Amino acid sequence: MPPHECRIPVREVLWHLVEEELQHRGELIALLWQIDVDAPVYSWFRWDHEVGRIRDAPTC
């Protein structure tokens, strides 16, 4: 099929990028699990918390 022009909303392109990233991250994590290795980073929030940019709320 030859290339052709089409119009795709930016919202759709960005959503597709998120889906692709999640799929590939899952594939890499699955490969690491198969060789009994924990993935280094599971989520941005977890990483941010581990490096100290997000802190737990103080308890009263």
According to DSSP, residue 12 is labeled H
Check: CB of residue 32 under 8 Å from CB of residue 38. yes
pLDDT on residue 13: 92
Does residue 25 have a pLDDT over 80? yes
- The C-alpha atoms of residue 40 and residue 29 are separated, in whole angstroms, by 9
Cα(48)–Cα(55) distance, integer angstroms:
9
pLDDT, tens digit, 9 for 90 and up, residues 35-54: 999 877 667 777 788 888 88
Q: What global pTM score does this model have?
A: 0.54
Encoded tokens for 5: 């022009």
Asked if 28 and 39 touch (Cβ cutoff 8 Å), the reply is yes
